[in-house]
Amino acid sequence: AQSVTQLDSQVPVFEEAPVELRCNYSSSVSVYLFWYVQYPNQGLQLLLKYLSGSTLVKGINGFEAEFNKSQTSFHLRKPSVHISDTAEYFCAVSDLSGGSYIPTFGRGTSLIVHP
Amino acid sequence: DGGITQSPKYLFRKEGQNVTLSCEQNLNHDAMYWYRQDPGQGLRLIYYSQIVNDFQKGDIAEGYSVSREKKESFPLTVTSAQKNPTAFYLCASADGTDTQYFGPGTRLTVL
């Protein structure tokens, strides 16, 4: 079964600093990869996704992520964060080889942006 | 405006009571999901449905039931058998690339 590890449960950072949120998944030949964001007391919304093609994926709000097949990683980055980026971020993976259409979610990383 | 709606936003349950959470989508998606979210535990899958009139148990189905009589609707019932139902419940639908679209959530509290 697929597993997803978000290595940091909490990432504090100052406003305008760069940030990287890490995500690793168990090995698979073929996957879809996702990052979602959740603001307090709201549902999740899609930030970006990798389905195929270029390994560098750009999403909303200035975020981007890079798919690294050899390291089975999909880390999320932003060059300069804003206070409004404070939220919970979830990485998710769909394992296309398993025949299941249920993405596996990581436990989430809380990004806290300080002024 | 396409999307997922959940109601109510807040729900209170007394001991021994069944309650039903509503989830509706107008995205024409076949697949729908229910998740439970507790602090620090991420999302846990309760039930999912990939087509009308069919649904499957997820990781934590005990004490919950669902129905899928219409493509647009996937209600979740929290039964009295669920001993610790206080949580944030999220409904989602998915398109053909497994991209999930979430509703705003229902926060259930046991009195």
Classify strands A64-68 and A73-78 as parallel, antiparallel or unpaired. antiparallel
- CA distance readout (Å), A85 to A32, A82, B97: 24, 5, 26
CB neighbourhood size of B97 (10 A): 13
Please judge whether B90 and A94 are an interchain contact, meaning their C-beta atoms are less than 8 angstroms apart: no
Report the number of distinct structural domains present in chain A: 1
Give the pLDDT score at A36: 98
- Residue numbers in A near B99 (CB within 8 A): 34, 46, 49
Whether the pLDDT of residue A99 is over 70: the answer is no
Q: Is B62 exposed, middle or buried (0-12, 13-18, 19+ CB in 10 A)?
A: exposed
Domain of residue A63, CATH code: 2.60.40.10
- Calculate how close chain B gets to A94, using CA atoms only, in Å: 7
- Enclosing domain of residue A52: 3-114
**What's the rounded Cα separation, in Å, for the pair B35 and B48?**
9
Average pLDDT, rounded, for chain A:
93
Give the pLDDT score at A96: 78
Of B40, B43, B48, the CB nearest to A105: B43
**Lowest mean pLDDT segment, chosen from A20-24, A29-33, B42-46, B75-79:** A29-33
Give the pLDDT score at B1: 62
Give the pLDDT score at A2: 83
**What's the rounded Cα separation, in Å, for the pair A95 and A7?**
20
**What's the rounded Cα separation, in Å, for the pair B61 and B83?**
12
Please judge whether A103 and B40 are an interchain contact, meaning their C-beta atoms are less than 8 angstroms apart: no
